[in-house]
Amino acid sequence: MEKTVSEAIAYRRSTRVYKDISIDAEKVKQCLVNASLAPTSSNLQLWEFYHVTDKESLKLLAKACFNQSAAKTAQQLVVVVVRKDLWRQRAKANIEFLDKVYNKDGLSERDLKRKKMATNYYKKLIPTIYVDALGVLGYIKYIIFQVMGIFKPIYRQVRASDMRIVAHKSAGLAAQNFMISMAAIGYDTCPMEGSDTLRVKRILKLPRGAEINMVIGCGIRDDKGIYGPRFRIPFEEIYRLA
């Protein structure tokens, strides 16, 4: 029986050693479907999920992850990839979706206004934020937006580095969806930032514009795979009622 959300969150631990027991690739794939439902900035979904089950590829990736146990003993690996370079295609997909949703007669004035606002968002605002030229345009936009921000609230994260952070945050939300979904069905995971990302990209044959967000080991936890009891800073120290 699947765990509740709270049970899955409590169960999830970063598992660094896995039992030599196979896990169902289809179940892992379904957890990745759940990952794709995570919230994402501007609904651009600038992510891809590489589900690795091939034994030889697993060995190569484990080596690229410095042969740490969480990679070396994993039955499967999931590589979360950020694709900020696909923003044009993803914006276009959103526009096509809007055209399909609102492609009917007798739309109310409210629906027509909503369609126009959303379409303009993807046709005008998104390019304004994402278009850059060697980082120079981003800094020009940054200065302009900071000046405008003196007079009114305004979005300020317009540099290329800012948009990278935005894309990686969305990918991180998707990764968490995945790991909680895995925990709900009794599967274990370990998110790893420790890897040679260039080698990971080469193994997966990723294009230059792709970036590795994290590599996630997947399997069934071994007793020695959990390194001690969970520690968290006391909640009272981090909770602020504003």
Residue from 63, 87, 90 nearest 77 by CA? 63
pTM: 0.93
Residue from 109, 9, 65, 85 nearest 198 by CA? 65
Spatial separation of the C-alpha atoms in residues 199 and 195, rounded to whole Å:
8
For residues 126-149, average pLDDT: 84
Helix runs in 39-86, H state only: 55-64, 69-72
* Structural domains for the chain: 5-83+162-230 (3.40.109.10), 87-159 (no CATH)
Residue 80 has pLDDT above 90, yes or no: yes
Query: Per-residue pLDDT tens for 176-200?
Result: 999 999 999 999 999 999 999 999 9
Spatial separation of the C-alpha atoms in residues 78 and 231, rounded to whole Å:
26
Query: Per-residue pLDDT tens for 84-136?
Result: 999 999 999 999 999 999 988 888 999 999 999 999 999 999 998 898 877 78
Q: Percent helix, strand and coil across the chain, each rounded to 5? A: 55, 10, 35
Spatial separation of the C-alpha atoms in residues 194 and 181, rounded to whole Å:
23
Residue 218 has pLDDT above 90, yes or no: yes
What pLDDT was estimated at residue 148? 87
Contact indicator for 82, 167 with CB cutoff of 8 Å? yes
| Coil, strand or helix at 128 | helix
For residues 162-183, average pLDDT: 97
Contact indicator for 47, 40 with CB cutoff of 8 Å? yes
Contact indicator for 45, 92 with CB cutoff of 8 Å? no
